[in-house]
Chains A and B, each alone.
Chain A
Amino acid sequence: MIHFVLLISRQGKVRLTKWYSPYSQKERTKVIRELSGMILTRAPKLCNFVEWRGYKVVYKRYASLYFCMCIDQDDNELEVLEIIHHFVEILDRYFGSVCELDLIFNFHKLPRAQAYYILDEILIAGELQESSKKTVARLIATQDSLVEAAKEQASSISNMIAQATK
């Protein structure tokens, strides 16, 4: 099972975290520090796996962003590597272009924490729940439309004005 998902930039800044196993805030900080120290320093051609505290961490770099997933000793590393890629492809499809990934995760593009919702459709309880890109995209689109509807219904007048003037 996947214990956590971690997105860190090349400078070691955290862009997204999702914990499927219980870690206290202190542990989380420690984990991030340890792993970014390990992963960011690895040379480009080495394997995408690192052994860490009896677990394995699979990571992949897209532009200046590292996607990391921590898995059990007996999980299939290459599969997890592809799960990462699967996630990225879906993000790519949703947000437009992968090369803007860093921007996306800078929250510039997702003040609504959209990436979290997408991740929630791909992984649940540390397992891959949906391997069809289409299904995920459809679900997210439905959510978006419903959310838009709900928003319009609830939005204040000032918000409406803000939208209109945009």
Chain B
Amino acid sequence: MGSQGGFGQSKEFLDLIKSIGESRSKAEEDRIVLREVETLKVRLNDPNTPKYKLKEYIIRLLYVEMLGHDASFGYIHAVKMTHDENLLLKRTGYLAVTLFLNEDHDLIILIVNTIQKDLKSDNFLVVCAALNAVCRLINEETIPAVLPQVVDLLGHQKEAVRKKAVMALHRFSQKAPGSVSHLVSNFRKKLCDNDPGVMGAALCPLFDLINADVDKYKDLAVSFVNILKQVAERRLPKSYDYHQMPAPFIQIKLLKILSLLGTGDKKASEQMYTIVGDIMRKCDSTSNIGNAILYESICCVSSLHPNPKLLEAAADAIAKFLKSDSHNLKYLGIDALTRLIKINPEIAEQHQLAVIDCLEDPDDTLKRKTFDLLYKMTSSSNVEVIVDRMIEYMISINDSHYKTEIASRCVELAEQFAPNNQWFIQTMNKVFEHAADLVNAKVAHNLMKLIAEGFGEDDDTADSQLRSSAGFVAIRVESYLRIMGEPKLPSAFLQVICWVLGEYGIADGKYSASYIIGKLCDVAEAHPDDDTVKVVTGIMKIYSFEIASGNPVDLLPECQSLIEEMLASHSTDLQQRAYELQSIFTLDARAVKKIMPMDSTCDDIEIDKNLSFLDGYVQQAIENGAQPYIPESERLGISSISDFRSHDVHEPSTHALRFEAYELPKPSLPHNIPPVLASSTELVPVEPSYVIDIPHPTSAPSASDTGSSELKLRLDGVQKKWGRPTYSSPAPSSSSTDLVKVQNEAPRPDSASSSKPKTRDSSYDSRKQQTEIPPEKQRLAASLFGGSSKSEGRQPPSQKNSKTQNHTSDKSRSSKASAPDTAVKPSQPPPDLLDLGEPSIASSVPSVDPFKQFEGLFDFTQETTPASTGGVDGASKDSDFTSLFADMSLSAQSNIDPNPESNGLGGSKVEPTSPQLNKGPNLKEALEKDALVRQVGVTPSGQNPNLFKDLLG
């Protein structure tokens, strides 16, 4: 064997390796390596170095580079070595270049020739070495140089060569899909290769090709199914077995391909059901590789046209994964669950506790995967819990890549499902505070718009839900004033803060204008120029509101100095704003009111693109002898120019310098095709901005003032600067309607959640058995999954019961289950009744501590307990239950304090019973175990009293 070290190697090399191996610190290692680099530089450049020595040096160079040092000085020697006739040296050369060089390296061009030659070699090892290099080094430009030879090699007698040739072509198709498009038939042919290794290799390019265009390969579905069947039936040589599984890697690849082919294709899917089912059954779930196949099968099932039997098998497999102790399997279980809930959302409910365990697991990977799952199953009823969790996690990590992702997910979920504006704004606040630089700038606009709308509607409609918003804005003003004290704020967040303070800072009269302006000035000092713009706009608003309301205004000294500083600023934007601010002081209240109307963010601003209000002025000017305006395109009159202008609307003027290259001359258009018209219409959106930039003539102050202020707002669309961003870009408007919708729908989650406590109660007995599960976890489960079940379009429990009773098949069972439910509901021990009494807080269960209100409600429960039990007592077997519960409530009463733990559990246990209820006959089996265990407490049997006594007494 080649394992004998030092074979033909110098002692020097071994010493080097040893000393590096024994080095105590990175610094020591670096010193050794640097010394080695110097030696190698000298030796490699010495023309007298014998070749076999050269080989050793190249390998030493590999070693140096592997340790992170620059070895580029020796690359050329590696390249030279590939030219060598000696196989040993050639192989070393190839190994070195594949490790040293990237496909875009300049030296590649020197290797292509050698590769071409070696691909034709008689020695298949040389060919293999060359093919390895092809896979690594050939780039888009050099593909044509080697392509014909590689294609020829597909028919090579050695399977090792055929295999590598297939992989090389696969690489080509990744690099330049066009280059091998004519070779697809070769890949198909290679599927029938005698050697399973070649067949397995051919699956790689086919997978990519199918992924790119499924329809072209639909006919292959049958073949793949056949191959998979043969593989699963162990028809391949024994040597492909891996841990007693027949060719598992090929199976996995085939399953991947099948899932592509079966996606959204019922007919193709049907061909696959049997084999996928077989594979799932045959999987050895004790070995890793068996589980890998199982997992791949679940993925496959989740993308095929749904098949109940397979889905059930998949759900079972997921359950096994999640119950496993291995984190790897849990991870895969969560991932598989994420895929499956798209088809069958109910599956998640069975595993809620497992999911929550994963969420709280110290393992970050598992946690993130679980967040993926939660993200997918978010609905309006559990959004608060999920987003809160996400934000909590977001704050705790500092991996910016993932932080960005989770921040944008929070924003997305909040925008989509927010139960009310208040929550939305609070959430956004948090996101901004911790990750403002990572979220899209648009989010800030949406947030400000929402605040404005909330505020505006409050004035007009006094809608009960929004009534709080004025107060709320005040709270925000306060909280922002506090936040502003922080040394450095993210720009986007600062924008929101300044805007809110500007618009609403003095709205409720709590803070004086000078106080807020003082604060703003402080902020302006602490932040760079770009942010100052935002601050100044805020200041300007406050001053103009003050002036407009007729209050005496005095310019604060710090503001005065700020303005002076800005007047001298290099930024024209800042300068302009400073001038504007100055001029506002010279205006009277009426004019200011026109410019800066109070709380008008939500008003529609009509933009008169034709500037008709200037007509009178223009008329007058023309009468005075001015030239009438001729549109630029007409003025130029040359069709070719207007033609090109129409391609580049944003270009301010044809006379300006062009920095881009001119387009290729177009085939000349006939003159009567109206390029003029086209260009003029296209120019319209830009025109207003020109107009604004030109200082307005002061002749008609009031008119032009309103005009300019309106138009200036419009400008923001072009410039994306601070201002009244609500109107700045057209895009947000659509999302605004979304938000309004959410707002309108807000009562819905409430009503849903009000029914929630009932569901929760229904399962309270089962929770008794599981006191060992921490209450927070259970509450979390309830808020996550209980909510999701509802949002998924399932009925609130009362309807659920009636529905289950309508269900025919296993009536006895379901009615059995539901009967105790109804009974239990009213006769809850005090803690749960508490929840009943407070449906409003139910939606935010985890955030509110139910025990706090608990004591106060105690008397109430005493009263209601007998009454309500009497009412619902209809169900046959309940009588002993109610008495039992009566006892319990008493006992619970006597020792409230020791009990809170179990109280807390109240929130959690909805799920164990509820899935069983709504599942119906379909998934009965899967749930039976679970339900049975948990139901022991509910099932009317003699043991119950003992059970409860144990738990409560």
Q: CB distance B362 to A43 under 8 Å?
A: yes
With A43-B362, A111-B5: A125-B102 Cβ-Cβ less than 8 Å? no
Whether B204 sits at the interface, judged by CB under 8 Å, is yes
Q: Contact: B2 with A124, CB < 8 Å?
A: no
Interface string of B26-49 (1 = CB under 8 A from A): 000100000000000000000000
Interface residue? B946 (CB, 8 A): no
B284 within 8 A of A: no
Residue of B nearest to A82 (CB): B289
Q: Is the CB of B50 within 8 A of A94?
A: no
Residue pair B88, A107 in contact (C-beta under 8 Å): no
- Complex partner residue of B52 from A20, A32, A155, CB under 8 angstroms: A155
- When chains A and B are docked, how far (Å) is the Cα of A47 from the Cα of B249? 21
Q: What's the least CB distance linking A83 to chain B, in Å?
A: 7
The majority secondary structure among interface residues of chain B is helix
Instruction: Please report which residues of chain A, range 30-84, place their CB below 8 angstroms from some CB of chain B when the two chains form the complex.
Output: 32, 43, 45-51, 53-54, 76-79, 81-83
A128 near B249 with CB under 8 A, answer yes
Cβ A125 vs Cβ B288 within 8 A: no
For chain B, residues 3 to 25, give those with C-beta under 8 angstroms from any C-beta of chain A: 3, 5-9, 13-14, 17-18, 21
Chain B window 326-342, contacts with chain A (Cβ cutoff 8 Å), 1 for yes, 0 for no: 01101110000000000
Tell me the bound Cα distance from A132 to B53 in angstroms.
35
Chain B CB within 8 A of A154 CB = yes
Residue contact A147 to B289, C-beta cutoff 8 Å: no
Given A14-B66, A54-B401, also A125-B292 (CB < 8 A): no
The reply on B578 being an interface residue by CB < 8 A is no
Known contacts A107-B63, A112-B7, A49 near B289 by CB under 8 Å: no
- Return chain A residues, CB-CB under 8 Å to B790: none
Contact A154 B88 (CB under 8 A): yes
Contacts of B242 in A (CB 8 A): 82, 86, 131, 133
Which residue of chain A has its CB nearest to the CB of B103? A22
Question: Do the beta carbons of B52 and A82 come within 8 Å of each other?
Answer: no
Which residues of B sit under 8 angstroms from A85, Cβ to Cβ?
288
Assess A108 versus B5: contact at CB under 8 Å? Given A46-B365, A127-B167, A146-B87.
yes
Quick check: is B296 within 8 A (CB to CB) of the other chain? yes
Asked whether any CB of chain A lies closer than 8 Å to the CB of B838, the reply is no
Contact of B197 with A129 in the complex, beta carbons under 8 Å: yes
Tell me the number of A-to-B contacts counted with CB atoms below 8 Å.
Answer: 209
- Do residues B1 and A94 form an inter-chain contact, with CB atoms below 8 A? yes
Q: Which residues of A contact B128 (CB under 8 A)?
A: 139
Q: Could you say which residues of chain A place their CB within 8 Å of the CB of B239? A: 132-135
Does B522 interact with chain A (Cβ within 8 Å)?
no
A contact residues around B171 at 8 Å (CB): 125
Complex Cα distance, B87 from A74, in Å, reads: 40
Report which residue of A50, A107, A128 has the largest number of chain B beta carbons within 10 angstroms of its beta carbon. Answer: A107
Closest to B201 in A: A129
Q: How far is the CB of B646 from chain A (nearest CB, A)?
A: 41
Any chain A CB within 8 A of the CB of B898? no
Contact B164 A78 (CB under 8 A): no
Residue of B nearest to A117 (CB): B95
Q: How far is the CA of A76 from the CA of B59 in the complex (A)?
A: 34
Q: Chain B's nearest CB lies how many Å from the CB of A16? A: 7
A129 contact set on B, CB distance < 8 A = 163-164, 167, 197, 200-201
Instruction: Tell whether, in the assembled complex, residue B204 and residue A127 are in contact, meaning their CB atoms are under 8 Å apart.
Output: yes
Are A22 and B3 in contact, with the CB atoms below 8 A? Answer: no
Q: Which chain A residues border B292 with CB–CB below 8 Å?
A: 76, 78-79, 81-82
Residues in A neighbouring B135, C-beta threshold 8 A: 124-125
Q: Which residues of chain B come closer than 8 Å to A142, judged between CB atoms?
A: 125
B56 at the interface (CB under 8 A from A): yes
A65 to B186, CA, bound (A): 41
Residue of A nearest to B87 (CB): A150
Residues of A within 8 A of B62 (CB): 113
Of the residues B59, B204, B331, contact of A77 by C-beta under 8 Å: B331
User: Which B residues are in CB contact (< 8 Å) with A51?
Assistant: 365, 368, 402
B140 at the interface (CB under 8 A from A): no
**A162 within 8 A of partner (CB):** yes
Pick from A77, A132, A133: contact of B328, CB under 8 Å: A77
Q: Does B311 contact A (CB under 8 A)?
A: no
How far apart are B368's CB and chain A's nearest CB, in angstroms? 6
How long is the Cα–Cα vector from A128 to B132 in the complex, in angstroms?
Answer: 13
Q: Name the residue on A nearest B238 (C-beta).
A: A134
Residue pair A82, B21 in contact (C-beta under 8 Å): no
Judging by beta carbons under 8 Å apart, are A79 and B95 in contact? no
Cβ–Cβ < 8 Å partners of B362 in chain A: 43, 46
Which residues of A are found within 8 Å of B660, using beta-carbon distances? Answer: none
Interface string of B247-260 (1 = CB under 8 A from A): 11110100010000
CB distance from A61 to the nearest CB of B (A): 13
Tell me the bound Cα distance from A133 to B103 in angstroms. 30
Chain B residues with Cβ below 8 Å from A95 are 1, 3
Enumerate chain B residues within 8 angstroms of A82, measured Cβ to Cβ.
Answer: 242-243, 248-249, 288-289, 292
Q: Which of A25, A46, A139 contacts B65 (CB 8 A)?
A: A25
Residues of B within 8 A of A29 (CB): 68
Q: Is the CB of B247 within 8 A of A131?
A: yes
User: Chain A CB within 10 Å — which of B21, B123, B168, B327 has the most?
Assistant: B21
Which residues of chain B are near A133, meaning CB under 8 Å?
239, 242
Contact of B59 among A78, A113, A128, A163 (CB under 8 A): A113
Give the chain B neighbours of A114 by CB distance below 8 A: 2-3
The answer to whether the Cβ of A165 comes within 8 Å of any Cβ in the partner chain is no
Judged by a CB distance under 8 angstroms, whether B351 is at the interface is no
Q: Is the CB of B250 within 8 A of A18?
A: no
Cβ-defined contact, B52 with A77, below 8 A: no
Residue in B13, B68, B103 whose CB lies within 8 Å of A32: B68
CB-CB nearest in chain A for B24: A11
Are B8 and A159 in contact, CB atoms less than 8 angstroms apart?
A: yes
Residues of A within 8 A of B365 (CB): 46-47, 49-51
> Once the chains bind, are A120 and B200 in contact (CB under 8 Å)?
no
Residue of A94, A110, A127 with most partner-chain B CB within 10 A: A127
- Most chain A Cβ neighbours within 10 Å, of B29, B123, B328: B328
A147 to B89, CA, bound (A): 9
Residue contact A46 to B327, C-beta cutoff 8 Å: yes
A46-B5 contact, Cβ under 8 Å, with A16-B66, A125-B168, A129-B201: no
Contact B5 A17 (CB under 8 A): no
Residues of B within 8 A of A78 (CB): 288-289, 291-292, 295, 328, 332
CA distance A43 to B327 in the complex (A): 12
Does B99 lie at the interface of the complex (its beta carbon under 8 Å from any beta carbon of A)? yes
The reply to whether A22 and B5 contact each other, CB–CB distance below 8 Å, is no
Chain B residues, CB < 8 A from A17 = 66, 99
Contact between B56 and A111, CB atoms less than 8 A apart = yes
Q: Is B86 an interface residue (CB 8 A)?
A: yes
User: B247: which A residues are within 8 A, CB to CB?
Assistant: 131
B237 interface contact, C-beta 8 A: yes
Q: A117-B95, A130-B197, A146-B87 in contact; A154/B330 too (CB < 8 A)?
A: no
Q: Which of A19, A79, A111, A130 contacts B6 (CB 8 A)?
A: A111
Residues of A within 8 Å of B3, CB to CB, are: 94-96, 109-110, 114
Tell me if B170 is interfacial: C-beta within 8 Å of chain A: yes
Q: Would you list 17 pairs from A and B whose C-beta atoms are within 8 A, ordered by A residue?
A: A25-B68, A46-B365, A47-B363, A49-B331, A77-B328, A79-B249, A82-B242, A112-B59, A114-B2, A129-B164, A131-B248, A132-B237, A135-B197, A146-B125, A150-B87, A150-B88, A159-B52
Residues of B within 8 A of A (CB): 1-3, 5-9, 13-14, 17-18, 21, 29, 50-52, 56, 59, 62-63, 65-68, 70, 72, 86-89, 91-92, 95, 98-99, 102-104, 123, 125, 128, 132, 135-136, 160, 163-164, 167-168, 170-171, 174, 196-197, 200-201, 204, 237, 239-240, 242-243, 247-250, 252, 256, 288-289, 291-292, 295-296, 299, 327-328, 330-332, 362-366, 368, 401-402
- Give the 5 A-B CB pairs with smallest separation, nearest first: A78-B292, A134-B239, A47-B327, A46-B363, A125-B135
Given contacts A96-B1, A120-B132, A124-B132, 14 further A-B contacts (CB under 8 A): A17-B66, A18-B99, A19-B99, A47-B327, A47-B330, A82-B249, A106-B21, A113-B92, A129-B167, A132-B240, A142-B125, A150-B87, A151-B8, A159-B52
